[in-house]
Structure 1
Amino acid sequence: MLWTRPLTMLQLLALLLASELVRTGFFVAALPLLGPGLGLGPAVIGAMVGAHYLADALGKGPMGLVSERWGLGRVLGLGALLGLLTVLGTRLWPSAWWGVLACALWGLVFGTLWPGLMSVSQALARPGRTARALAVSNLSVAPAILAGVLLVGPLIQGSSRSGWTLLLGAQGLAVLLALGLWRLRLPAPETARPGEPPVPGQAAPQPGWGREWGRVAVLLPAAFAQTLAPGLLVTLLYPLLAHLGLGLRDLAGPGLAAAAAFALSLGLLGRLADQVHPRRALTPGLLLLAAVFALVAVSGGPEVRSRLWVVAPLLGVGYGAFMAGWNGLVARTLPAQHRAAAWGAVMAVESLGYSAGPLLGGAAWQFGGQAGVFGLGAAVFLLTELYYLWPGRGLVHRAGGT
């Protein structure tokens, strides 16, 4: 087990899964499919979605500070209740102004969930397993997002009542899980990891607000760049498949190979990141991702098709190494006294990278096609690697140890 209090972490992860299933299903499926029948036009729906995700991104840092003062469990409970009121209110009393306001408030408080979960995961991680614990926490939400996209939409198309029932039931479960965590507070830095020996090479905590947040600022350019690269492909999956003459079924086998390679890479290099230094996993991960993107950029359509069984496992290995290294580096760098707020600041910048990715990816596709998109992605990964090596190497040395 990766955590010293597994039941607390499992409850938090269950809350995250239920909440993300509802959020994805509501904004991706329910509003676009059922909103017009409720009198909500495309502009209103767009405003509701945009207000929610913008408030979520901007609120992660400030709401982290709120959760440190008021208690994480109380803020999570408030967020779950706001989600239930938003979904139920949209179903029973649809309104443009009320809907936009409710979605924004929900997004603002929802912004506490991710930083809070990552802070608790870091604090409760067993000695020597921090990078792997954070990587697992970071990736655990994937099934819920997939279910929100692939399950809620078809269910709503078959029966709108069934779709609303699923969303309200899942959000009701989220409320119960959050209420069960009502007294949860972020562990104090001096007691979060009782009996844990010092991490080899980790710098001793430095006093002073400015120095602590200066260490966080070191991470922000790289946080933006490395989420920008995968964000380039968000809206281009089906155009790329059509360009390459591939279908979703053609990706099944290579996708499984990539998943297996990712799990193996995360386990092996995650241990290296925990026991030696996160950069030992981060550096090869970024280089391998840059190489894979560059290989696809210079390959023609038939060549990519024939190389899928090579490219997919390499992508899995690179992404597993990157996830282990990045989460380990962030864990070593963030100030212990304001861990939730610092996680919120980093994740807010990551969200901005994901937001900018589709815009730049669309432009690269229009002007450069496949080569433009993957060439830009390779350049972003390579520039991120150079940032860590120079001048970011010296900065990160001081922030997170050698």
Structure 2
Amino acid sequence: MNASERRALAGLASLYVFRMLGLFMVLPVMTVYGADYRGSTPALLGMALGVYGLSQALLQIPLGMLSDRWGRKPVMYAGLALFACGSLVAALTDSVYGLIAGRMLQGAGAIAAATMALVADLTRDENRGIAMAVIGAAIGVAFMLAAVLGPLLAGAGGLSAIFWVTMALALVGMLLLWRLVPTPESPRRPAVVRGGLGAVLGNGSVWRLASGAFFLHLLLTALFVPLPLVLVETLGLPAGSHWKIYGPIMLGAFVVMLPLMRLAERRGRVREAMLAALFALGAGAGALRVESGFPLLALLSVFFIAFNLLEALMPAQLTREAPAEARGAASGLYATVQFLGVFTGGVCGGWLFNFGGAGAVVVMIFTVLLLWALLWCLLLWRGRTAGTC
């Protein structure tokens, strides 16, 4: 990579870390600390977790396509401003409905598609896989930091402390975008933009990866509905100390994921690695049903190694297989279904936990994994990708 590419990638990866912290920091604490909000129930707290994904899902494709036409950075500035406003609303409320409203407004700052497309704009073809892998790794870093910082901040000042911090991070992100990230010099092509979504919707490889993003984030959000309470009951560890569990697990999972990702990329075994990670997610989700400390921690480690691996591999693969002239639209589709998965996982996980406990959530996770595996095999069998299942 040349100096300009490295500078742009450093700025965008940092922006991704700050942006995703806003999504991830509430996951390990929402169901514990959210119980203090007026009118809260497990189902409504699941809605508060997932509604962020609903507004993201509704706006990713429109904003991704808008970034193809008007430019990436204006869309990203507007999205970061909306995210900061939503954080302010969530920080000031004491009602679960205000929490839901703030999370929905946070999600309206849907810049993931524009950011992924900007990474592609600012890197050459031969470096794009590395760039997207760095972005995927940045998401993993954000998740690791969030798992530690979320419980620490909530322990110090409740959920409102998390939202004050995420508002500040949104403002810092705007500064990074202004100072570090170049504006790409590319002509606007309205005709290409108009046809971009059609080219993406007809691409089976894009759909395979997009469906993976949906299922992966559905599973993650559903897992975190019962997990904080399971840790309290199984390990006897107060919620404010959960960072002592998440920190080593996330760090270890990230360290293990990196060589696995490099190996899959170098040997051309990305699809096989993704399928193996899918089955590892199933094994790791069994952590919700064990009743002793070491097996629980071991299974959680397996889950998060698989999660980080998929979170790094799938976006990089998307930019290789999507039409070059419609990366904004492809990134928009990917981000849309990704955040739709967040919404579905939060709502369904909260509802099932409310009526059937952690066991009902585990049944849902295994069912989703089976559907995911069958769908991927079907798409490969139909010849929409070059590989076979």
- Compute the TM-score of the two structures, normalised by the length of structure 1: 0.69
Aligned equivalents of 1:293, 1:103: Cα separation in 2: 26
Match of 1:117 in 2: 115
Shift of 1:87: 6.9
Structure 2 unaligned segments of length 5 or more: list them: 93-98, 188-194
Q: Does 1:335 align with 2:336?
A: no
Aligned equivalents of 1:89, 1:314: Cα separation in 2: 36
1:381 pairs, out of 344, 349, 369, with: 369
Aligned equivalents of 1:64, 1:384: Cα separation in 2: 26
Secondary structure in structure 1 of the residue aligned to 2:223? coil
Q: Does 1:173 align with 2:161?
A: no
1:240 pairs, out of 230, 242, 254, with: 230
Q: Does 1:355 align with 2:378?
A: no
Contact 1:285 1:319 in 2 (8 A): yes
Aligned equivalents of 1:346, 1:163: Cα separation in 2: 27
Match of 2:190 in 1: none
2:261 pairs, out of 233, 258, 269, with: 269
- Which residue identity does 1:135 align to in structure 2? G
Aligned equivalents of 1:130, 1:401: Cα separation in 2: 27
Match of 2:291 in 1: 301
Match of 1:199 in 2: none
Match of 1:195 in 2: none
Contact 2:87 2:106 in 1 (8 A): no
Q: 1:208 and 1:121, CA in 2 relative to 1: closer, same or farther beyond 3 A? A: closer
Secondary structure in structure 2 of the residue aligned to 1:362? helix
Aligned equivalents of 2:360, 2:90: Cα separation in 1: 41
Secondary structure in structure 2 of the residue aligned to 1:387? helix
Question: Identity over the aligned pairs, expressed in percent?
Answer: 21
Higher RCO (CA-CA < 8 Å; seq separation 6+): 2
Match of 2:385 in 1: 397
Q: Which moved more, 1:215-224 or 1:83-92?
A: 83-92
Q: 1:137 and 1:118, CA in 2 relative to 1: closer, same or farther beyond 3 A? A: farther
Aligned equivalents of 2:182, 2:133: Cα separation in 1: 27
- Compute the TM-score of the two structures, normalised by the length of structure 2: 0.71
* RMSD of aligned alpha carbons: 5.0
Aligned equivalents of 2:331, 2:200: Cα separation in 1: 13
Contact 2:16 2:139 in 1 (8 A): no
Shift of 1:332: 2.9
Shift of 1:58: 1.0
Contact 1:254 1:313 in 2 (8 A): no
Deviations along 1:129-173, one digit per CA (max 9) or x if unpaired, are 35632421332433675587456656657xx9x999867754443
Q: 1:169 and 1:280, CA in 2 relative to 1: closer, same or farther beyond 3 A? A: closer
User: What does 1:44-63 correspond to in 2, within 5 Å?
Assistant: 54-63=54-63
Aligned equivalents of 2:17, 2:252: Cα separation in 1: 22
Secondary structure in structure 2 of the residue aligned to 1:5? helix
Shift of 1:276: 0.4
Q: Which moved more, 1:259-268 or 1:17-26?
A: 17-26
Contact 1:74 1:183 in 2 (8 A): no
Shift of 1:397: 1.2
Secondary structure in structure 2 of the residue aligned to 1:301? coil
Deviations along 1:186-237, one digit per CA (max 9) or x if unpaired, are 878xxxxxxxxxxxxxxxxxx9864432113444444322322222122212
1:283 pairs, out of 266, 275, 278, with: 275
Contact 1:232 1:362 in 2 (8 A): yes
Shift of 1:355: 1.2
Q: Which moved more, 1:245-254 or 1:342-351?
A: 245-254
Structure whose CA Rg is larger: 1
Contact 1:152 1:163 in 2 (8 A): yes
The count of residues paired between Structure 1 and Structure 2 equals 366
User: What does 1:173-252 correspond to in 2, within 5 Å?
Assistant: 173-180=172-179, 184-185=183-184, 210-215=198-203, 216-247=206-237, 252=244
